[in-house]
């Protein structure tokens, strides 16, 4: 048995183990962590992965297939139909305009217009894996920029097949006989190529219809039967069989495997077993995506970049700048606000993973020269690595200094002082109940929210809300922080939360500050900052515990009293343990003592059990 297979598997898994925590610890995100570590262990770095990064990359692309299946599970046909304008309108315009603009720019490098057009089509595609994972990390998937970005990516996945079919018509070079093997690996298989155009169309429609019929009429009864058997491995095997089988079917008729599994996911979106399917796929998807990002980092051709630094740098800058400009223009046409338009533009401005496949396909068909293809692949890999960095820079450095758009239907750029006693920073699931409860008691807070879509929603349901970043001191002044009595911080951003607290403590020391703790470490920071009250999702957890005790037959009043005492002890423990955070051994000892104290507290007032009801 080839030991190199196990060695490479060990290297990639070990790198994945280190990359995500390292990326999150440094504040750059898991995706960028994977890319950086991949570059370090790759052929141009420590050479741990040997010279087979391209093969690993193609294998790991199955992670993208699994990701599209999971996305499909979270949609339904009704929602997909409502997105048709974004998918085909925005997505179609993005592909056409980006391809034309990039082809014009590629004319500088290419010696033939057909080569330039081939480059334009390939580079117009963005990275589904990079974009979706980065948006998820940054909490942007449910914003308008995230939704429109997903629509564009979905159209691009659909468009890969027409691009594969169109590229051979641009052939203008003599193809070496040794390159024929690569062509056989493409998504356009030999048997479908032998059919007339109408025959190809019928085969493709039949394949999609087969997926729909199996998903709707065969798979749900099968899943019901398997679930009754209560054999977890059978359900896991069914899930993987479905995904792999769909991918093989789509590949055999010349369609994108990712598109096929997306359709299968949509068909199962209304199934009662969709959550179980998603849970079974998630570990495989996460691991393969991690390997994919590592392989992208490892595939960056640093020797070529070092040999042609100006050419590659110009290639990368032109690629990102042209795509970002086209995307931003389209964001204005489709009426995205300024902040969402910038996020949308930067998020999709990189090259995509399909460039690795389409580049080789174009070379084997005499469309692109090997030299230009090598430059293109290096530029695409670099642009994918730069994408998370650019998005972080946009969110941290640019958006906080910008207002919003000038259009009439956008949130007002100026914050008004409503002379409210309460100032609320952030909306979302944490802030929404706070607004409604305070309003019902006659205390409507002044709300600051930096997601323009949330602002629009809040206003549509009749509540007052202002667009603005509460980390900006001038906006806190404008919102009436000097007159308010209470500041509630409900944002899901630890750094932003601490920035607001610093402003409030320095400039508005009279404010009582109530804050959401995003983690235990964040709770310690809030305590050290002198925040009057903070909560780490404790209320919801205790409500669940009280209900559990009630169902287990304990007296409800005693359960509530135990939860009250637990909550008081938990807040006290944060105050006590904060002093030991710098010393791991002391912290562990103090945490163990705190646990014993808590057990003793609850044991001294044991929960009563309700007597069973007599029949």
| Cα dihedral 455, 459, 464, 467 in deg (nearest 10) | 20
Burial profile 172-198: b = 16 or more Cβ within 10 angstroms, e = fewer: ebeeeeeeeeebeebbbeeebeeeeee
Residues 351/123, Cβ–Cβ less than 8 Å: yes
Q: What is the pLDDT of residue 471?
A: 82
Residues 487/512, Cβ–Cβ less than 8 Å: yes
Q: What is the pLDDT of residue 107?
A: 83
pTM of structure: 0.58
User: How far is residue 464's CA from residue 483's CA, in Å, rounded to a whole number?
Assistant: 18
Q: What is the pLDDT of residue 178?
A: 42
Token pair for residue 261?
Answer: 């599994």
Could you give the residue range(s) of every CATH 3.40.50.720 domain in the chain? 422-603
- Is the domain spanning 3-401 CATH 1.20.1530.20? The answer is yes
Q: Which CATH architecture has domain 422-603?
A: 3-Layer(aba) Sandwich (3.40)
| Cα dihedral 332, 338, 343, 348 in deg (nearest 10) | 20
Q: Which run of H or of E encompasses 113?
A: helix 113-123
Enumerate residue ranges in the chain where pLDDT < 50.
1, 177-190, 403-414, 612-615
Cα distances from 29 to residues 44, 82, 565, in angstroms, run: 23, 32, 38
User: How far is residue 512's CA from residue 421's CA, in Å, rounded to a whole number?
Assistant: 11
Could you give the residue range(s) of every CATH 1.20.1530.20 domain in the chain? 3-401
Burial profile 63-87: b = 16 or more Cβ within 10 angstroms, e = fewer: bbbbbbbbbbbebbeeebeebeebb
User: How far is residue 571's CA from residue 533's CA, in Å, rounded to a whole number?
Assistant: 9
Q: What is the pLDDT of residue 407?
A: 37
């Amino acid at each position: 048995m080839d030991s190199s297979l196990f060695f490479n598997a060990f290297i990639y898994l070990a790198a994945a183990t280190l990359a995500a925590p390292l990326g999150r610890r440094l504040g750059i995100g898991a995706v960028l962590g994977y890319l950086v570590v991949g570059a370090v262990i790759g052929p141009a770095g420590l050479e741990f992965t040997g010279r087979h990064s391209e093969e690993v990359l193609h294998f790991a692309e199955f992670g993208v297939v699994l990701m599209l299946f999971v996305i499909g599970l979270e949609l339904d046909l009704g929602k997909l139909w409502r997105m048709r304008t974004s998918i085909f309108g925005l997505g179609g315009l993005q592909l056409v305009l980006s391809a034309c603009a990039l082809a014009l720019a590629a004319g500088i490098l290419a010696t033939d217009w057909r080569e330039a057009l081939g480059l334009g089509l390939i580079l117009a595609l963005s990275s589904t894996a990079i974009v979706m994972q980065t948006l998820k990390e940054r909490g942007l998937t449910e914003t308008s920029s995230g939704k429109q970005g997903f629509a564009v990516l979905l159209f691009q996945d659909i468009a890969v097949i027409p691009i594969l079919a169109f590229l051979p018509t641009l052939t203008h070079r003599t193809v070496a006989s040794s390159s024929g093997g690569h062509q056989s690996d493409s998504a356009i298989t030999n048997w479908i190529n032998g059919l007339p155009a109408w025959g190809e169309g019928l085969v493709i429609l039949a394949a999609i219809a087969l997926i729909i019929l199996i998903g709707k009429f065969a798979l749900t009864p099968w899943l019901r039967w398997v679930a009754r058997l209560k054999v977890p491995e059978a359900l896991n095997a069914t899930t993987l069989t479905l995904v792999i089988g769909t991918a093989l079917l789509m590949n055999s008729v010349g369609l994108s495997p990712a598109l096929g599994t997306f359709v299968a996911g949509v068909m199962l979106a209304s199934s009662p077993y969709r959550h179980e399917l998603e849970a079974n796929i998630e570990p495989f998807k996460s691991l393969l995506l991690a390997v994919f990002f590592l392989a992208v980092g490892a595939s960056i051709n640093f020797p070529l970049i070092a040999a042609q630094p100006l050419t590659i740098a110009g290639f990368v800058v032109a690629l990102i700048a042209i795509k970002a400009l086209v995307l931003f223009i389209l964001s204005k046409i489709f009426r995205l606000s300024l902040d969402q338009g910038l996020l949308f533009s930067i998020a999709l401005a990189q090259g995509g993973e399909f460039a690795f496949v389409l580049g080789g396909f174009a070379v084997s068909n005499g469309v692109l020269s090997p030299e230009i293809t090598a430059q293109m692949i290096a530029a695409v890999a670099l642009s994918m690595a730069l994408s998370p960095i650019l998005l972080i820079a946009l969110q941290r450095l640019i958006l906080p200094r910008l207002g919003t758009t000038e259009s009439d239907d956008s949130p007002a750029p100026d914050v008004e002082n409503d002379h409210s006693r309460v100032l609320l920073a952030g909306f979302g699931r944490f802030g929404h109940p706070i607004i409604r409860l305070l309003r019902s008691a006659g205390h409507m807070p002044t709300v600051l929210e930096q997601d323009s879509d949330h602002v629009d929603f809040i206003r549509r349901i009749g509540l007052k809300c202002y667009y603005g970043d509460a980390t900006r001191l001038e906006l806190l002044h404008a919102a009436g922080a000097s007159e308010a009595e209470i500041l509630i911080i409900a944002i899901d951003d630890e750094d932003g939360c601490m920035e607001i607290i610093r402003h409030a403590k320095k400039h508005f020391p009279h404010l009582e500050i109530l804050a959401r703790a995003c983690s235990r470490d964040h709770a310690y920071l809030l305590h050290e900052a002198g925040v009057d009250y903070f909560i780490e999702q404790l209320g919801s957890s205790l409500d669940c515990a009280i209900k559990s005790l009630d169902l287990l037959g304990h007296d409800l009043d005693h359960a509530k009293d135990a939860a009250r005492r637990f909550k008081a002890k938990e807040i006290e423990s944060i105050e006590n343990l904060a002093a030991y955070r710098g010393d791991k051994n002391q912290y562990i000892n103090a945490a163990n003592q705190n646990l014993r104290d808590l057990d003793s507290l609850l044991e001294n007032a044991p929960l009563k059990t309700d007597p069973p009801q007599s029949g």
